[in-house]
Structure 1
């Protein structure tokens, strides 16, 4: 997992062509006018994004997710949340891997990290990073606007 500012992301991320497309897309965003909610096509199945709006929740109400075929690059447009994190091998799987939608769900087996995630930050999550987005920060629910980019890490079928 990498967490950084959008400005520093270019220097910290290993920039393959798909990663560069994802970062270039983020650099074009106007935080005062984020895209409408839904899927955004960038480069077919290689790079695409979802614009999201949701209210954060209590930690016990959030499941951890993990992916195999795509990296997540999450950019917080507005609001703040905590992101739960645990290594994938420390996850008790509650929903088996869904190959079509590239995710599995679960709960951590042991104590794990919670990282504040605030507007303007970028988080890059790898297949080894089980993560739980959308957890209340400072004990209060708030609305979050987020862009989640999916970057294929292998050949796209």
Structure 2
């Protein structure tokens, strides 16, 4: 019985991707369709009851997948699905800085026609206001994002250097 329980626990944990891997994949996800597909596959088993940061990355994967849809209706449906999931995740954890970073990274890169650029200033302010309170690993991840972000001016980027 112990062996069965251990095996079930191992299988369950093995199916959930670790955050470090997901972060690493996310940084290169826009470089190619194959990167986007790999990212999406890693997150395919994530459900709304999982860690909210992983759920936010899954929402980002859906938003990114919409870019590769051939039919406009499918593209729009996937985009709306991803945006809705990301917004509900933020609503459930509004103080999660990494989820805010994910939304900011999406919103600064979507076309204006989507109408999904409304939280850039809010998320940018949240990142700058709460950056110093993060652990070293998350600070480094935030810093890497901020330094390449189009939303931050050169002067604003100085606070992370």
Q: What TM-score, normalized to structure 1?
A: 0.29
State the structure with bigger RCO (CA 8 A, min sep 6), 1 or 2.
Answer: 1
| Bigger Rg, structure 1 or 2 | 2
Q: What TM-score, normalized to structure 2?
A: 0.29
More strand per residue: 1 or 2? 1
